[in-house]
Each structure stands twice: as structure tokens, then as C-alpha cells.
Structure 1
Amino acid sequence: MASPIPLAKKQQINLLRGWPSPHLLPADLLSAACQRVLADPVESVPILQYAPDEGYQPLRERLAQWLGRHYGVEPDANRICITGGASQNLACVLQSFTDPHYTRAVWMVAPCYHLAATIFEDSGFAGRLRAVPEDDEGIDIEELERRIKALESKERIESQAEPKPFKNPGPFRKLYRHVIYAVPTCSNPSGKTMSVRRRESLVKLARKYDALVISDDVYDFLQWPLDGAVDPQRPPEMRLPRLCDIDMSLGRAENDSQGFGHTVSNGSFSKIAGPGVRTGWAEGTPAFVLGLSKTGSSMSGGAPSQLCAAMLADLLRTGELESFIETKTRPELQRRHKIMMDAVKEHLEPLGAVGRESSVSGESIYGGYFVWLTLTQGPPGVLVSDAAVKEENIIIGRGDMFAVRGDEQGAKFDQNIRLCFSWEPEEALVDGVRRLGLLIKRMQGNLAHYEKMAAEVKDSDRPVSSWV
């Protein structure tokens, strides 16, 4: 079956790439901030030198104030460590607080941010990534506990000896028995936001089983009301408590004599100031943050991103970054999301595609970068993904990309696709969804042809971008 228009004449549309639109990069603000922080030699010398292990102190303090206002918690710079972004910090957390022999498993909320899998595997957890499915409120707590119990029971039967760690954490760190990885707000890829009661239950479960919850809180500032209305009694975005705030509010757990806590918030400026700034923050208990700062790479070179940290501290001081998010970033993402969803309703819903109406169950709120669709009338996502490239020059995220590597049967997503609305121009969002609808209609009319074509395609031929 030939494509109606030659592929070479079709504009490529990348609905997989999870990058901010060039319009959402505050280059002028960053340029001005850089000039300001370097103008005074007294201030610029320490900025251009090695950083303190915990990070640039003015940024720690201004982040504490900003996050404190946003989440309604007491500001405490001692709870914050400056990082090189969420991905780099995930690796540092694993280096400092896990052991490939002692830590039993990494539990990933599925569908998951799949590129995290390689970071876990690099830390010695290949073959020990475990899927935990979601329901409408987020992570399925009962299923997570059932699977943890089953794993621990199986290991007790197979070996009576308690595993001995390879690492010596020393006085400033500890090793956790389990790791739980989640994106609780506007999750990538599902778009779901975990309810408050699920957040509370997850923290309590982590404390019970000596688990560390690593929470990627990268979309918290990117939420909006779907109807466009602003309730004067509530900010325009949901401000649910972070897992680290819930953990702190419960006080020290009985099995936590050193006060490390059982959660860490992994924040990043990538979605709100640009991925290239390579700067983020971790927030946890003061003991956890001090231990994280003892990661070898930080002690050798100091906290990463010292210059960019100073620039961002300056933008927090002036209020320009907050203003940019509120007046530029969030409104543009809100508009782009509506444009894509209107196109989905017109071109894909009649073909059986179903998407989430909101991020938060029972609330008219959405956020983040992505739309997660279920194809209820076939064909499966992998066939749609392959055919979209071959016939329409469109790149999308197929559902099985977001299964947990090594535990694909723990939660399957064969009938799902993910679309990103943050990268392509607005007109391309509409055209991409329209062309995708034409493709799916063709596929529904001749599914056998596409199944035969897929059998001839090797996995290596399928486009999987590293930037999602």
C-alpha cells in the first residue's frame, strides 16, 4: 500500500522530542544575568572557581524561599543541594545511597520515564528494575506492597543470609533496601498526577520497607486550569505537597536513627529555564543533603553548574524567572496542549483513541509536556510508530518504549502512544495529529498489510530519540 504523498515531500514532524520550544528559552534573561554576575570581580572570582560541595549558597537560599512559597513549607536552605540537573543527580543519589548487592530492587512507576533505566543499570541494577502499575490516582500502592513482599519472601527462601553491601557508606550516608522511582506530578509519559492520599501512602510504605523514593519533580511549575478560569482562592496551578514535604511532616521514622528520611525531591531548571543550563536541585532532610554533597564527584570538583547556578540565583533575586514562567512558559504550554487536544478530538477520537482529560483525578487541571493515548481499536502502538515514520515522516513515542526494561510483563502498553506538544510549532501539532489520523484510518482498513510489514522490520530500524 503506497503512501498518498511521496514521503520526501512531507515535512518531518517530531512528536516524540520532549524539548521546550525555542520560544520558551529565556536567552535574553540568562544573557543579562550572566553579565551581571560577572561584572563585579569580587563576586565573579568565586563564581568561576570550584563550588562548595552543597552548591552555590545564594541559589540554595533563594530556592528555599521560592519553593517554600510555592509549596507552603518553611524555607530551609540546609535541605537543598545544587545539582547538575535531574539526570545527573539521579546518578549521584544512586552512587551515595544504594548498593548493587544490598539494595534489593528499583521499583519504577509504569509507564515510566524510560531513559532513567540506563542510569539505574549503570549503577548495577540491570535485571532488577521492577514495574509498578498506575491507576487513575497514580501509583497502585497495594500492588507495590504485594510485589515487595513477594520479592523479599522469595529471597528469604532462596538464601537465609542477609546480603552484605559492597560499599561502606560512612558516617554521612546510608544504604537503602529498596528504591522507588516516580514522577508524581504530570508524569512522563502518562501525564497523571498522584493524589495526595496516594502520596501519603507511598511515603508511609517507603518508611515501612526502608525504601528511598526518588521523586522527579520537574513539571510542578507547569500546570494550568483546563477551562482557562483562575480561582482567586487557589493559584492557577495545583500545588500538591511533594513527597519530601510529607516525609518531613511525619517526623523521623523509627528505623531512621540518623535522620536521612525516605524521600528526595529531584528538581531541575531544564523545563523552566532550558535544558542547556544543566542545573537542578535536590531537596530532602538536612542529613540526606549533607550526605549527597559527599558524593565523590562533588567533593572532587565541587557542586556542578557553578556559573549557571549564579545566573539562576540572580534571576530568582530579580523575580524575572518566576515572571517568565507565569506570563510566558505556562500560558504557551496551556495553549499548545489545547491545540493538540482539539486536534486529537477531531482526528483521533473517532478512530478509537482515548486520552486523559486531566492530570489530576477529579480536577480540571493539566500540565507537563505530553499526551498519552490508548488506541482502543488497534492497531498496536509499535505498528503505528513504524508506519508513521515510513509513510508520514512523523515520529511518535510508542507505548512499549515506556515499559520497565527487564520487567515488560509487569505492565504492558502495547496499545499506547505518547505525543509531545512542547517542541513543534503549533501548526505542526495540528498537521501531525491530522496526518496520524489518516494513517491510523488506513491501517484499520488493511491491518494485515501492516502486520506483515512489521514482521520484516528489525527493532534497530525503529526511531528512538535520546531526547524525550
Structure 2
Amino acid sequence: MSTQSPPKLINLVRGWPAPSLLASELLSSAAQRVLSDPAIFVPALQYGPDPGYQPLREALAQWLGRHYGVKPDPERICISGGASQNLACILQSFTDPAYTRAVWMIAPCYHLACDIFKDSGFEGRLKAFPEDEEGVDLEALDESIRKLEAEQGEAQDAAYKDPGKFRKHYRHVIYVVPTCANPSGKTMSLARRSSLVKLARKYDALVVCDDVYDCLQWPVGGDLTPPSEWPPEMKLPRLCDIDLAMGQAKDDPRGFGYAVSNGSFSKLVGPGIRTGWVEGSPAFAYGVAQTGSTKSGGSPSELCAAMVAQLISSGELENYLEKIVRPALQKRHMLMMDAIYKHLTPLAVEVRESGLLGAKVYGGYFVWLTLKDGISAKVVADKALREENLIVGSGDMFQVHGDEERLNFDSAIRLTYSWESEEDIVEGVRRLGDVIRKVKETPRDSQQPARGERDDDGLKNFK
């Protein structure tokens, strides 16, 4: 019997920032400044205003205004407890399961968002629609919504909830990650962004955009430059800015708009600070601030919001992203891609080289692989864990819950380069190549995945 110990566990699923990318020193300094000044720490340690810590709203408006080239307006911003909590608040305030007909999710999707929608009453009404090379297949989405509307008729269902004068209920919700999408890495083109906003206006839909990777981009094969020198394709307008530029729609007399940006500091500073923001129209931002859980104590994360406000207003956060975070992610991505070309592409594995069609730009945390020759990604993922102590994300993880049959991703694998060390990123891809080679050499009828369940990190309990 062999006594050889298993190889070191390598996790290429976990979408966390590596410990070296956590802004601990910046936060320590900011905390000292905040907690040493009563003018700052007294309001920061008390119940806060519903829309959030005002200095952070103002600092964010200035920073995002510079980045996206829009007029800074703190009234468009509501501070949240992070992107996930913010999504839950949006659903509580602006949807009603008796009135809102469906949630449309681009597929492959950010899988952990599915449970947030289910908790808001949309079990069985999550609908998948496909990506194309420009990031969203508008024809497929338009046809699917039109068909659902025709099947259900034009009658307005009675709502469970009264939205009141500061909120409304949308007929549909469309959920997308427009820039550096999780999991596919794609970036939606400008033309598709504009067309998606127009489609949302057509069907009274709210487009919720997870814009968490917009500041984490870099040129492929080129030198890093500061955001002020980024080419246009790295500073595409958010859908909420496009919606605002189109002007207030006739069917929207209270000016809520049809697209909102869901932002977070999780990937920029550290997930543990649980602080983010929503940006949309002033009416929409105020409506989110009227969510009951927010009004009962004010916006969450007041203390962390005060610390982050210090980092933004001082310029420290922008400098940290420019000097530390983006260069590290660019290098990790380059190492992973080099390893993929060496160990995987000779095995007929395809990889997307650019986030935006026709532009040498990438960003975010993820690389999306496509297996050829009919190989099952689930078989590969199971074998990788059993034999190589390697965790990878098989495509079935990223199917829309309840609508898995519409779009199947059993030929796809998602890899993450943000978490493991540089050496383990390369070693993990090498091990994956060994697994794929073995699977290709195994008779097809004997390629059966082990039975088990996957937790949030992609680990499995084999039975």
C-alpha cells in the first residue's frame, strides 16, 4: 500500500482576494485617524442616516465621477453593506413576487446570486438567457420576455406589497455583470449596453448591474497605466449612466430609472469590511434607503464607511489599486494564461484571451475554459479533486438555478487567479492538464462523475 501523501490542496475556484491584496495597512491607518477624532468617530459609531455615511457618499461621487466622466452627485448614491446585501435590499424595495414576473439572469451566471433571488420569492422564476461575443444576446432576451408577456397576458396582477410614494415595483428584473463578468470574463460592448437599457425601458425592467470589477482592468500584453490614461474600452459607461443620459422616460414619472449600479469594496479593499453602494437615479437611491432594515438604524457599516471615506478622499485607495492590486492581478492572469497555453491548449482546450471583443483588455478574477472533444467538465472537476487535490469550477455550477436545461455548460471550466499564490496558480493549471489528458485517454462510457455535493468553494463530499 502506498504511503505517499496527497499533493498540496490548490483551490482555483475561490473568488477571494489573496491575503497579500488585502488593504490592512491602509485600513489600520484610516482607523486610527477615524477613532482619534470625535468629530468623525461619534457619528461613525452612532446610528447613521438612511442613505449612508455622507462623507463617503461625497467622496464616492467625486471618485466615480472622475472615473466614468459623469457629473458627481451624492444624491445618486446609497451606501450598502456590500453588493450581496444591496441586491437583497433592491429586491425587497422594488419587486413583488405577485407582480414582478421573472428574474432574467445572463448565463453562465454568478451562481450565488440565485439564492438571493429565491429568498425574495422568485423560486422557479429565474430565467436564463445567453451571452454572445459582445456580452449579452439581446435578441434572445427580447424574444424570451416577449413570449412570457404573451403567455401571461397584459393583466396587472395584484401586488402583495404597497411600494409607497418613494418606491415602485418593476415588471421584470435583469441581472448582469457587464464588465469582466463572473464567470465568463466577458465585457459587454457599448452598443449592447445602450440597447439593453432601451430593452429595459420597453418592458418596465430593472437592470441590476454588478459593477464590482470595473476598476480592476489592464491591457493584455501591455504596460499598466493610471486610470486617467486608460483607453476608452477600459472606461465604458455604466448602464445607470447611459439610462440617465437618455433622459426620464414618459412611463417613469417619478424618475426611478431602469438601471442601477451595484458596487462593492470587497475586491478593492477586502470583503470583510462589508461596505458597498448603489448608484442610480436620485429617486432610486432614496428608495433603496427606505428599505425597512436600513431605516431601522440607518445605513449599515457606518464605521467601515468612515474608514473607506478616508481612503478615497486622501487618494490612498486609488494609489493602492494602481500600484498594488492591478499589477498583482495582471501578473497572476499572465502566469495563468501562459500555463494554459503550455499545458491545456495542446489538449484542445479553448480560452478567452480578451474580455471585450476586439480589444486587448482583461480584468476581474476569472478565466473561462471550453473543453472540446465532448469531454465533461464535471468529470474533469471530480477527477481533479480526487486524484490531484485540485479544485476547479465545472460549468454546471454557473447554470441558472431552476432553468438549467435552457443553457448547458458541461463543456466549461472556470479558473480563478486571485486567491492562490503565483506558484500554485501555475502548478494548478499543470495538474489540470494531467487530469484532462487522463480523461481523454479513458473510454467515454466509463467517464462518470462521482456523486457528491459542492459547497460554496467547490469542495465536494464524495459518497
After TM superposition, the score normalised by the length of structure 1 is 0.95
Matched, 1:295 2:291: yes
In the alignment, residue 314 of structure 1 is paired with which amino acid?
A: Q
For residue 206 of structure 2, give the secondary structure of its aligned residue in structure 1: strand
Deviation per residue, 1:335-390 (Å, 9 max, x gap): 00000000000000011110101000000000000000000124211101111110
115-124 vs 400-409, which moves further: 400-409
Match of 1:396 in 2: 392
| Deviation of the 1:182 alpha carbon | 0.2
Residue 122 (structure 2) aligns with: 125
Distance 2:225 2:13 in 1: 33
Equivalence for 1:465? 457
**Letter of the aligned partner of 2:96 in structure 1?**
D
C-alpha separation in 1, matches of 2:310 and 2:30? 6
Match for residue 21 of structure 1 among 11, 18, 21:
18
Q: What pairs with 1:151-190 in structure 2 (closer than 5 Å)?
A: 151-156=148-153, 161-190=155-184
1:426 alignment counterpart: 422
Q: 1:450 to 1:56 in 2, by over 3 A?
A: farther
2:405 aligned counterpart, secondary structure: helix
Contact 2:177 2:211 in 1 (8 A): yes
1:84 aligns with 2:81: yes
SS at match of 1:212: strand
- Matching residue of 1:94: 91
Measured in 1, the distance between the counterparts of 2:64 and 2:179 equals: 15
**Amino acid paired to 1:222:** L
Letter of the structure 2 residue corresponding to residue 188 of structure 1: N
Cα gap change, 1:447 to 1:277, in 2 (>3 Å): farther
* Secondary structure of residue in 1 paired with 2:207: strand
Matches of 1:62 and 1:303, distance apart in 2: 16
Contact 1:107/1:181 (<8 A) preserved: yes
Alpha-carbon contact 2:240-2:279 (below 8 Å) kept: yes
2:321 equivalent in structure 1: 325
Match of 2:131 in 1: 134
Residue correspondence of structure 1 range 339-358 to structure 2 within 5 A: 339-358=335-354
2:182 matched to 1:197? Answer: no
Instruction: Indicate which of 273, 276, 279 corresponds to 1:283.
Output: 279
Structure 1: segments with no counterpart, 5+ residues: none
One-letter identity of the residue aligned with 1:384: V
Aligned runs of 1:100-115 on 2, under 5 Å?
A: 100-115=97-112
Cα distance between partner residues in 2 of 1:407 and 1:12: 33
Counterpart of 2:34?
Answer: 37
Output the CA distance in 2 between the equivalents of 1:199 and 1:346.
35
Q: What displacement does 1:234 show?
A: 4.2
Cross-structure match for 1:216 = 210
**Deviations, residues 315-345 of structure 1 (Å, cap 9, x unaligned):** 1111111100000000000000000000000
> Equivalent pairs: percent with the same residue?
60
Q: Which residue type is aligned with residue 197 of structure 1?
A: A
> 1:32-90, CA deviations, whole angstroms, 9 ceiling, x for partnerless residues?
10010110123211110011100000000000000000000000000000000000000
2:72 matched residue in structure 1: 75
Distance 2:54 2:106 in 1: 34
Q: Tell me, which stretches of 5 or more residues in structure 2 are unaligned?
A: none
- Displacement of 1:9 in angstroms is 2.6
Deviation at 1:291, TM superposition (A): 0.6
User: Aligned match of 2:44 in 40, 47, 72?
Assistant: 47
> Is the 2:391–2:458 Cα contact (8 Å) retained in structure 1?
no
Q: Distance in 1 between matches of 2:212 and 2:43?
A: 28
Match of 1:146 in 2: 143
CA distance in 1, matches of 2:280, 2:4: 51
Question: How many angstroms does 1:8 deviate by?
Answer: 3.4
The two structures, once aligned, show a CA RMSD in angstroms of 1.7
SS of the equivalent of 1:8 reads: coil
Q: When the two structures are superposed, what TM-score results if normalisation uses the length of structure 2?
A: 0.96
Secondary structure of the 1:135 match is coil
Distance 1:64 1:194, change over 3 A: same
1:240 aligned residue: 236
**Does the 8 A contact of 1:193 with 1:360 survive in 2?**
yes
Report the equivalent of 1:435.
Answer: 431
Change (3 A) 1:297 1:330: same
Structure 1 residues 245-260: aligned runs within 5 Å: 245-260=241-256
The alpha-carbon distance between structure 1 residues 463 and 53, as it changes in their structure 2 partners (threshold 3 A), is closer
Q: Residues 439 and 447 of structure 2 are in contact (CA less than 8 Å); yes or no, is this contact kept in structure 1?
A: no
Q: CA deviation at 1:227?
A: 1.6
- What SS is found at the alignment partner of 2:424? helix
- Assess if the C-alpha contact under 8 Å between 1:101 and 1:163 holds in 2: yes
Looking at structure 1, the residues matched to 444 and 163 of structure 2 have their Cα atoms a distance apart, in angstroms, of 57
1:202-238 per-position Cα deviation (integer Å, ceiling 9, x unaligned): 0000011000000000000000001224689941670
